[in-house]
Amino acid sequence: MSLIISDDILHTTGMSETELRQEIAVLLFQKEKLTLGQASQLSGISQLQFQHLLASRQIPVHYDVAEFEEDLKTLQELKRL
């Protein structure tokens, strides 16, 4: 799915396309609609940069049991390589 935002709307916000993408990503992450990875992908920056962006706004990173287990699984797979 593609979302088209008119240049008029973009101009009205006073933001660049990159800034608007980051704002949308932060909002969706904060509302727990996107994971950290998904939000950083939407924002067009790395996960580390996105974490710095969140920290600059004092927004905590969500990290639940499912994500922890997923990270453990990934580490175990990497260990086997």
Would you state the pLDDT for residue 68? 81
Nearest to 30 by CA among 5, 1, 53: 53
Q: What CA–CA distance (Å, rounded) separates 30 from 27?
A: 5
pLDDT at 66: 80
Q: State pLDDT tens for residues 45-65.
A: 999 999 999 999 999 887 778
Domain boundaries, the chain: 7-80
Torsion on CA atoms 9, 13, 15, 18, rounded to nearest 10: -50
Radius of gyration of the CA atoms of the chain, in A = 15
